[in-house]
Amino acid sequence: MNNKIKTFLLLAGLTVFLVFIGNLLGGRTGMYIAFIIALAMNFFSYWFSDKIVLRMYSAQEVSPGEAPDLHRMVEELSRAANIPKPKVYIIPNDNPNAFATGRNPEHGAVAVTTGILRLLTPTELKGVLAHEMGHIKNRDILIQTVAATLAGAIMIMADMAKWSLFLGGGRDDEEGGGALGIIGVIALAILAPLAAMLIQMAISRSREYIADETGAKLAQNPESLARALEKLAYGVQKAPMQANPATEPLFIVNPLAGGGVMSWFSTHPPIEERVARLRAMRSY
């Protein structure tokens, strides 16, 4: 299935799931509460999430005089993507990584760590920056923010379900009958956050594939991004970042260096699959 269609269906699924939980907990009133929670969280995230995440990682904006090569690459790629030039930030961290943020292309920003600047060649770094430019061009930051806030709202509603056990909550009989019951509430409290997490993870993985493809086209060199991803996969294992798991989807590779079973729950596709897809693009 096309990744763009998959993203739309997954976001729609999250929204329907949120409304379903609200309806299950409190009928029509619960649905309204769920919508209000989602709207409030989305509003806050839309306007402030970029500032929060940049501050969280002590990112420092750099001028063209301070990082001329970095700015030159960003300038070239932004012209190729036909978007305004994003602000450029450097994060003082040995973990080789990068991310893009900003609520739209007009307010975009790219941030790279000192670790990635040391590890990659200029050609490989341009491939990484092209991937991040792809996120900005495709408005992935907004999409992932909406997915994260919807998932967060679902988790809040699931927590409310637990409280309903103590407060005697449930649907009014006239709205469709009976309370959830103890077993139903326990099941909802456990399964709803898990389902929301899995859907959010699927959305994030779909957007990573799209950004890889867009970035390879912008840089006109799929191999540069493929080589960069291989190096980054090794580099983050040697220097894992003390990162907030909530911000993990922003980075080009998982900064937490999770392996084994935990990789099944990663918001990033397997590096091997991403590299294979990029190298397959060379035949077109």
Show which residues are catalytic.
132
DSSP type of residue 174: G
In angstroms and rounded to an integer, the radius of gyration of the C-alpha atoms of the chain is 21
* Contacts (Cβ under 8 Å, ≥6 apart) of 56: 244, 247
Assign 185 to helix, strand or coil. helix
Phi-psi region of 242 (alpha: psi -120 to 50; beta: other; left: phi over 0): beta
- Bridge partners for 91 per DSSP: 113
Residue with tokens 């929060």: 52
Q: What is the largest CA-CA distance in the chain?
A: 68
Contact 115, 239 (CB under 8 A): yes
C-beta neighbour count of 145 within 10 angstroms:
22
Can you tell me the distance from the alpha carbon of 3 to that of 140, in angstroms, rounded to the nearest whole number?
Answer: 12
Can you tell me the distance from the alpha carbon of 108 to that of 81, in angstroms, rounded to the nearest whole number?
Answer: 13
Contact 250, 100 (CB under 8 A): yes
Residue with tokens 């991040």: 132
